[in-house]
Amino acid sequence: MPELPEVETFKKYFDGTSLNQKIERVVVNDDKIIRNLNGDEFVNKLTGRTFLDSFRRGKYLFARMDNDEYLLLHFGMTGDLNYYELEEDRTKHERFVFYFNNHQRLGFDCPRKFARINYIENIKEYIAKSGLGKDALVITEAEFLAATKAKKGSIKGFLLNQKILAGVGNLYADEVCYKTRIHPGSQTGAIPTKKLKEAFATMQDILNTAIKRSAYYKEYPDNWFFEWRKEGTPAPNGKGVVTWDKIGGRTTYFFPNYQRLYSFK
What is the per-residue pLDDT across 119-165, written as a single tens digit (0 to 9) for each?
999 999 999 999 999 999 999 999 999 999 989 999 999 999 999 99
Q: How far apart are CA 77 and CA 162, in angstroms?
A: 17
Cβ pair 25, 38 in contact under 8 A: no
Would you tell me which CATH number, out of the four given (1.10.20.10, 3.10.20.90, 3.90.950.20, 1.10.8.50), belongs to the domain 134-254? 1.10.8.50
Sheet holding 51-57, edge to edge: 51-57, 60-65, 70-74, 116-120
pLDDT tens-digit profile of 39-67? 999 999 999 999 999 999 999 999 999 99
- C-alpha distances (whole Å) from 193 to each of 129, 136, 181, 202 are 31, 18, 14, 14
Q: How far apart are CA 252 and CA 243, in angstroms?
A: 8
Q: How far apart are CA 123 and CA 211, in angstroms?
A: 25
pLDDT tens-digit profile of 192-239? 999 999 999 999 999 999 999 999 999 999 889 988 788 998 877 776
Which fold, 4-130?
N-terminal domain of MutM-like DNA repair proteins (3.20.190)
Contacts of 112 (CB under 8 A, 6+ apart): 76, 77, 78
Dihedral of alpha carbons 20, 21, 26, 31, sign: negative
- Tell me the domain boundaries of the chain: 4-130, 134-254
Q: Which amino acid is at 83?
A: Y
Q: Is the pTM of this model over 0.75?
A: yes
Virtual CA dihedral for 7, 8, 12, 13, nearest 10 degrees?
A: -20
